[in-house]
């Protein structure tokens, strides 16, 4: 499954009401570490298709969502299950570390 671009309009449908865990990647186009982690996030989206949902939030385009999650640094990865934040990591992470976050 392709990564889903989150907006304040589709957040409730895609994240809050999701019946599978959601990995949300808060990023920006100008962020070097965000560019480094993007291919890893894409691989996870493909490998775990149907088991998790992978969403991306451009913090410059969606400041309300970034503010709601108190995002101070990017990239920030957030794992949400049943509408609740289960894990959060700030900064670049290796693929194995991200997968461990998803084992909730």
- Give the architecture-level CATH label for domain 4-102: 3-Layer(aba) Sandwich (3.40)
Residues in the chain, pLDDT under 70: 1, 104
**What angle do helix axes 32-47 and 95-102 make, rounded to 10 degrees?**
60
Domain ranges, ordered by start, for the chain: 4-102
Q: Among 4, 6, 24, 34, which one carries the catalytic annotation?
A: 34
The pair of structure tokens assigned to 62 is 């969606």
Q: Quick one: the chain helix, strand, coil %, rounded to 5?
A: 35, 30, 40
pLDDT, tens only, 58-85: 999 999 999 999 999 999 999 999 999 9
pLDDT of 39: 96
Residue 77: which residues within 8 A CB-CB, separation 6 or more?
A: 23, 24, 25, 26, 88, 89, 93, 98, 101
Tokens 């049943």 belong to residue = 82
pLDDT of amino acid 37: 97
Task: Give yes or no: 55 in active site.
Answer: no
CB 57 within 8 A of CB 25: yes
Q: Which of 22, 31, 40, 77 is catalytic?
A: 31
């Amino acid at each position: 499954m392709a990564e889903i671009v989150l907006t304040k309009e589709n957040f409730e449908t895609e994240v809050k009401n999701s019946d599978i865990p959601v990995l949300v990647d808060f990023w920006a186009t100008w962020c070097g570490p965000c560019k480094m982690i993007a291919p890893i996030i894409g691989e996870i989206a493909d490998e775990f298709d149907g088991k998790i949902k992978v969403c991306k939030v451009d913090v410059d385009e969606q400041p309300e969502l970034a503010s709601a999650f108190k995002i101070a640094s990017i990239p920030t990865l957030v794992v949400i299950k049943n509408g609740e934040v289960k894990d959060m990591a700030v900064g670049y992470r290796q693929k194995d570390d991200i997968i461990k976050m998803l084992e909730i």
